[in-house]
Amino acid sequence: MNNKSIASRFFTSISVLIMVSISLLGATFMAFANRYFESDRLNILNLCVESVEDNLAANYDSDISSIDDVAPVTENLKLISDTTQSTVMIADLYGKVITCTDNDDCTTEIPQAAIILANASDEVIRVSDTFTKHFQTEYYAVGKAVRDSVGNVTGYIFVASSIGTIRIFTNALLSMFLVSACVMILVSSIVSLAVTSKLITPLRNISDAAKRFSQGDLSARAKVEGEDEVAHLAYTFNNMAAFAENNETSRSNFVANIAHELRTPMTSIKGFVDGIIDGTIPPEKQGDYLSIVSTEIGRLARLTNSMLDMSKLESGEFIMNVANYNIWDTISAVAFAFESRIENADIQVRGFEPSRIRVAADQDIIHQVVYNIVDNALKFTPRGGYIAFNVTEDKQSNMVTVKVRNSGAGIPQEDLPYLFDRFYKADSSRSVHTKGAGIGLYIAKTLVTRSGGDIHVESELGEYTEFIFTVPAAANEKPAQKAKNDGKNSKAKPDKADKPKGRHLKPHK
């Protein structure tokens, strides 16, 4: 494995963690085991001393100096010694050993330090250190001074046990622990490798997909398995890749659309200007052709403005100036701006019944939203068709809903979810003479969303298309403040909503 890979680092970390954990566990276990065995051994030795003392009290009235024949005593002590696996020693008042259960390896004299410790207490006392220093061998040893009925010391009882026997047992225990630890490390390593492989495989799939994506394969996707963090990472990568692929598709479509939108008017402008310059177009007709040139230049200007608006929206340069005003002022202004187009196409206007419905929004932004929607509706309304307006206020949700419907071919249901995407044009569903670069509705949706509302479209093939957007209603105002705001709005823009002009802007019955 590569030393820099996540798999190798993860495996190394787990291995080190397991080794350290086992080492600490082993050290702790052996420390507790030694302490337990030591405590257990000393308790047994204490019981052994008490048992010997009871035996002496029963047979010799605790007077060790009265023992004439040590053979019976030794036999009794041997039974206790064999049972506890220890060496029992009885010493006289001066520390000389009278009898010992271990004939092969037994001292003849008790260390004076042990005698001093035994004299200092009436209880069984530990004397391991004195025995170890005296005999140069590690011992667990306890002792007690034997006193007669009047309290005089008549001798001593000492019981000792070599630590060697305990060491043999603890070493065997340590060996078993090490074998178990090795088996555990082996099993843990195998499990760790399996878990690491399972964790790393999805990451490698994501890495491979990202590598293919960076090399230009925009269709590359990572396989998503499970619901853990890695699966969420793969899911996020796939969403990002899909978004980037859609953006690339939109960009390609945008370049193609913009090239077409720019080429057509520029070709017309160049042809008419060249005709005027070289005299192909006679002077008496130059005015008509210059009018066409002006129209084409206006078309280029509108396209350029739409692109600039889109750039400002995406860069966050749009500044909101929210105020309370009558939304019918905006709808009326937009409708009158398109009056000539409406008259030329003999389009009927329905539902144009201005009233006072106040909203809290940026008036310029809502004007652009309504303008883009109406402009889009007029593009696809057939001659002799209609365009209808409807504005309602919902007191419960405190939102105002604006609907703009136009008759026409309608939009297929499969195209509706994408209608507000950048540069999207449902050419086959709307018209064979589709106009625009697919920017206006995207701008409208972005502006409505930033105003705190929502926008969607409904359509029925062969019948109508209706754009519906919402905007927050104006908050309740004091009468004086409301009059002040109305005065500002009336100064800024004439209230044409109450004075409709033109044959086609009258309410259609």
Q: Which residues pair with 406 in a beta bridge?
A: 387, 465
Residue 113, token pair as written in the block: 């330090």
The pLDDT of residue 508:
42
Q: Is the pLDDT of residue 68 over 80?
A: no
20 and 142 assigned to the same domain: yes
Residue 174 domain flag: no
Could you give the CA distance from residue 357 to residue 389 in angstroms, rounded to a whole number?
A: 14
Residue 78 domain flag: yes
Domain containing residue 444: CATH number: 3.30.565.10
Instruction: State pLDDT tens for residues 287-303.
Output: 888 888 887 787 678 66
Of 97, 82, 94, 87, the closest CA to residue 119 belongs to 94
Of 260, 302, 307, the closest CA to residue 443 belongs to 307
Mean pLDDT of 128-145: 82
308 and 360 assigned to the same domain: no
Residues 412 and 426 sit within 8 Å (Cβ to Cβ) = yes
Residues 320 and 294 sit within 8 Å (Cβ to Cβ) = no
Q: Considering the entire predicted model, what is its pTM? A: 0.46
138 and 241 assigned to the same domain: no
Residue 219 domain flag: no
Residue 71 domain flag: yes
Residue 208 domain flag: no
- The residue out of 293, 315, 337 marking a domain boundary is 315
**Which range among 279-293, 294-308, 381-395, 455-469 shows the weakest confidence by mean pLDDT?**
294-308
284 and 399 assigned to the same domain: no
498 and 374 assigned to the same domain: yes
Could you give the CA distance from residue 484 to residue 491 in angstroms, rounded to a whole number?
A: 11
Of 104, 100, 59, the closest CA to residue 80 belongs to 100
The pLDDT of residue 356:
92
Mean pLDDT of 97-114: 80
Residue 291 domain flag: yes
- The residue out of 286, 315, 344 marking a domain boundary is 315
Domains held by the chain: number:
3
Residue 212 domain flag: no
Q: What is the domain range of residue 399?
A: 323-505
> Which residues touch 487 (CB under 8 Å, ≥6 apart)?
none
309 and 327 assigned to the same domain: no
308 and 335 assigned to the same domain: no
Could you give the CA distance from residue 423 to residue 256 in angstroms, rounded to a whole number?
A: 10
Domain containing residue 106: CATH number: 3.30.450.20
291 and 365 assigned to the same domain: no
Could you give the CA distance from residue 402 to residue 351 in angstroms, rounded to a whole number?
A: 11
486 and 355 assigned to the same domain: yes
Residue 159 domain flag: yes
280 and 359 assigned to the same domain: no
Share of the chain above pLDDT 90, in %: 15
- The residue out of 315, 337, 367 marking a domain boundary is 315
358 and 465 assigned to the same domain: yes
31 and 122 assigned to the same domain: yes
Mean pLDDT of 92-97: 86
Q: Which residues pair with 464 in a beta bridge?
A: 407, 460
The pLDDT of residue 492:
40
Domain containing residue 299: CATH number: 1.10.287.130
